[in-house]
Amino acid sequence: MRRGTTLVEILLSLVILSLLLGIAFPRFGAMRDQLAVGVEAGRIAAAHRRARMTAILQSRPIVLTISPDSLTLTAEADSGVRWIEPGPAANGVTLAGGARKITFSPVGISTGASNATFRLTRGAAIRTVVVSRLGRLRIQ
């Protein structure tokens, strides 16, 4: 009695495996896009919280600059960078619009026209981060 598999059995297994991968692979891509956009929305929200807390703790105005390439905190009085991190473009996520600056007062409230909406996209995945003047954040 011979043990092993025949060529027909191996080919049938490969055909079934390729069909299953053909069905599952596009769903993994969409899931990866959703995850990347969600992570970048969370990073923008965290940068916003960091800027607010830095302004309160240092008792000075702090400017948060959100651009596709970087997230940056600087003090308003001097131009020294306090904190910098790669922007959404580093993970292949597109940030609609150009760079946006939000200035936080020493009491933690953003000043000027600080209402902002950041639309993040990658593939079919879309997330929107809405920032109100009073510092409320909403991720849609």
Q: Other CB atoms closer than 10 Å to residue 129's CB: what's the count?
A: 22
Which domain, by its residues, includes 102?
7-139
Q: Is residue 135 part of a domain?
A: yes
- The tally of domains found in the chain comes to 1
Q: Is residue 50 part of a domain?
A: yes
| pLDDT at site 41 | 95
Q: Is residue 104 part of a domain?
A: yes
Q: Is residue 1 part of a domain?
A: no
Q: Is residue 23 part of a domain?
A: yes
| pLDDT at site 10 | 92
pLDDT along the chain (140 residues), means of 10: 83 91 82 93 94 92 92 85 91 90 88 81 92 82
Of 97, 125, 102, nearest to 45 (Cα)?
102
Give pTM, 2 decimals: 0.81
Q: Is residue 122 part of a domain?
A: yes
Q: Is residue 2 part of a domain?
A: no
Q: Is residue 51 part of a domain?
A: yes
Per DSSP bridges, beta strands 100-104 and 62-66 are: antiparallel
User: Where does 1-140 show beta strands of DSSP type E?
Assistant: 62-66, 70-75, 81-86, 94-95, 100-104, 110-111, 116-122, 125-131, 137-139
Of 28, 47, 43, nearest to 125 (Cα)?
28
Q: What is the CATH number of the domain that holds 39?
A: 3.55.40.10
pLDDT digits (tens, 9 = 90+) for 84-99: 999 999 999 999 988 8
